[in-house]
Chains A and B, each alone.
Chain A
Amino acid sequence: MCAWASRLLEALKWLLGVWMTVVVIAAFFYAPAAQNLGQMSRIIYFHIPAAWVSVVAFAVCTAYSVRYLRNRRTQDDAAASFSAELGLLFCVIATMSGSIFAKATWGSYWNWDPRETSIFVLLLIYGAYFALRSSIDDPARRGSLSAVYGVLAFITVPLLVFVAPRIPAVQSLHPDGPILATGGGLDMDGRMMTVFISSLLGFTGLYAWVFTLRLRAWRFITALANRQED
């Protein structure tokens, strides 16, 4: 990598640190509280971006899996598993923060709200993905089998998004009115919107940074291992 590109990445890293600090401060002091939910509504600056990143990480994992199946480069398999690791982390963060919010507003930690169901299935998929990886010794076989499972699971996720809200006897308790309009569009105060979008960008940047860091570390380790072998 040439010098100016690595300097640019270095600068971006510092910018990300400053950006996230500003977002955290703004989430508590700049953005107003929502009308019905009060101070509790500040969860949206952390909970929704975490859930968003866990889905994006899954999509990235699937993209790398498809690429691995096409040209069988070890690096693509490693990238898919790193993305899945990060996705699992953010999925746990989103589930736990949402569960605490649910206890505070709806009175119980878990009640199979459609969105709780879909994030639970996402957790299960990530868990199954790593259970599969850890049960195969041969690296090439591990790569192709887990890639196939990742693609297969990714195909069923959109079905769940349509099916889960139709499961009877559970109505969504997720706050629709004040924060998220039912049509999927956003209905927010201008300042809330600014902080929310900035947080979304910040979380995605955080994911991208840790992901590239992990990939670079992996490249160094494999290069070192190859050199020792020679």
Chain B
Amino acid sequence: MSSSNWAREALAVLVKDVRSEYRTRYAFSAVLLFAVTALAVVSFSVSPYSLDADVQAAFLWIVLFFSAMTGLPRSFVREEEARTAMSLRLTTAPEAVYMGKLLFNILLQGAVATVVVPLFLVLMDIAPAHPGLLAGATILGTLALASSSTIIAAIVSRANARGAIFAVLAFPVTLPGLSSAIRATTAALRSAVGSGSGLAAGAAGSAGTATGAAGAAGDLRALAAYSVLMIASSLLLFDFVWDD
């Protein structure tokens, strides 16, 4: 099969998923409402002015992680529940299915993040010190979440207890990406002469001055490398999940 054919199939899977999502808006509305509810709980329960940058970053990524956990398994579970998985298996190459689903998950999680992150900044009353860094951390973090969750979603869609075990399976695999995203976001939110920076630099110990923008650049690179690693190994392993 030629490569252009392969890419066209992946795009066809993506377009099919986007179209069916646009008709029902099931996944997007469920995930978005979940994320907004979680944000509201966070901002009700803590006073926004008393939080340090690292706590704010942790809150943001907990909300994003769990909204990914509610939304991303849908991409494959829907195929199994609607009994369309078999016809997809017959007509499309496994790698094309994986890439299509991955692109759809990136789009879905990206759409959620573009709503959640500005809302978070407004509700928690934050003026990020490095907006560009925050945008980079959000984009790459979203990519990392989607790339590690897509193959887990494929695994879970073929098991019995689908909803219950997805987060359990995804968390250990996602953790490297998640912790890099949290660190980069912390650096983005922390103002250069902010109150927390001195304390945190002391606490970081061996990391020393790496908590600044230079360290954050390293975290962004780690996130990109992690996503590439996850996508590459998923492409190699997906065949065993899909055609068993």
Residues of A within 8 A of B (CB): 69, 121, 124-125, 127-128, 131-132, 135-137, 140-141, 144-145, 147-149, 151-153, 155-156, 159-160, 163-169, 171
Contact B172 A121 (CB under 8 A): yes
Interface size on B, residues (CB 8 A): 36
A residues in contact with B173, CB < 8 Å: 152-153, 156
Whole-angstrom distance from the CB of A64 to the nearest CB of chain B?
Answer: 14
Contacts A/B (CB < 8 Å), 22 sampled: A69-B240, A128-B172, A132-B165, A135-B161, A140-B244, A144-B241, A145-B155, A145-B159, A145-B244, A148-B241, A149-B152, A151-B237, A152-B152, A156-B175, A159-B176, A163-B175, A163-B180, A167-B183, A168-B183, A168-B200, A171-B205, A171-B206
Q: Are A169 and B204 in contact (CB under 8 A)?
A: yes
Interface status of B193 (Cβ within 8 A of chain A) = no
CB <8 Å contact, A132 and B204: no
B222 at the interface (CB under 8 A from A): yes
How far does the alpha carbon of A125 sit from the alpha carbon of B159 in the complex, in Å? Answer: 17
- CB within 8 Å for A149 and B155 given contacts A163-B222, A166-B207, A168-B203: yes
Min C-beta distance of A188 to chain B, whole Å: 23
Interface membership of B25, Cβ < 8 A: no
CB-CB < 8 A to B161: which residues of A?
135
Overall SS of chain A's interface: helix
Query: Is A128 a contact of B168 with CB atoms below 8 Å?
Result: yes
B54 touches A155 (CB 8 A): no
Residue of A152, A164, A165, A167 with highest tally of chain B CB at under 10 A: A152
Q: Is B169 an interface residue (CB 8 A)?
A: yes
Q: A145 is contacted by which of B172, B207, B229, B241 (Cβ under 8 Å)?
A: B241
Distance in Å from the Cβ of A22 to the closest Cβ of chain B?
38
CB-defined contacts of B186 to chain A, threshold 8 Å: 168
* One of A121, A152, A166 near B237 (C-beta < 8 A): A152
B226 within 8 A of A: yes
Are A156 and B169 touching (Cβ within 8 A)? no
Question: Does B159 lie within 8 Å of A135, measured CB to CB?
Answer: yes
Contacts of A153 in B (CB 8 A): 172-173
CB contact list, B206-224 vs A, under 8 A: 206-207, 211, 222
List the 10 closest A-B pairs by CB distance, nearest first.
A159-B176, A171-B205, A169-B203, A135-B159, A135-B161, A124-B172, A125-B172, A144-B244, A135-B160, A168-B204
Query: Please, which residues of chain B bring their CB within 8 A of the CB of A163?
Result: 175-176, 179-180, 222
Q: 17 extra interchain contacts, Cβ-Cβ under 8 A, other than A128-B169, A152-B152?
A: A124-B171, A128-B172, A131-B169, A132-B159, A136-B158, A141-B244, A145-B158, A152-B173, A153-B172, A155-B229, A155-B233, A159-B176, A159-B229, A160-B176, A163-B179, A168-B204, A169-B54
A131 to B158, Cβ gap below 8 A? Answer: no
B227 to chain A, nearest CB (A): 12
B151 at the interface (CB under 8 A from A): yes
Nearest chain-A residue to B183 (Cβ)?
A168
Determine the distance from Cα of A164 to Cα of B175 in the docked complex, in whole angstroms: 10
Please give, as numbers and ranges, the residues of chain B lying within 8 Å of A160 by CB-CB distance: 175-176
The smallest C-beta distance from A61 to any residue of chain B, in angstroms, reads: 14
Q: Are A156 and B176 in contact (CB under 8 A)?
A: yes
Asked if residues B172 and A168 are in contact (CB atoms below 8 Å), the reply is no
Q: How far is the CA of A151 from the CA of B239 in the complex (A)?
A: 14
> Shortest distance in angstroms between A155's beta carbon and chain B's nearest beta carbon?
5
Min distance, Cβ A28 to any Cβ of chain B, angstroms: 34
Instruction: Give the distance in Å from the alpha carbon of A159 to the alpha carbon of B180 in the complex.
Output: 11
Which single residue of chain B is at the shortest CB-CB distance from A142?
B159
Measured between C-beta atoms, what is the minimum distance from B57 to chain A in Å? 11
Determine whether the beta carbon of B151 is less than 8 Å from that of A148: yes
Report A-chain residues with C-beta under 8 Å of the C-beta of B159.
132, 135-136, 145
Give the one of A121, A137, A165, A169 with max B CB within 10 A.
A169
| CB nearest to A158 among chain B residues | B176
With contact pairs A69-B240, A140-B244 given, residues A156 and B172 touching in the complex (Cβ less than 8 Å): yes
- Is A152 in contact with B233, judged by CB distance below 8 angstroms? yes
Q: What is the distance, in angstroms, from B117's C-beta to the closest C-beta of chain A? A: 21
Give bound CA distance, A90 to B202, whole Å: 36
Q: How far is the CA of A152 from the CA of B152 in the complex (A)?
A: 9
A168 touches B158 (CB 8 A): no
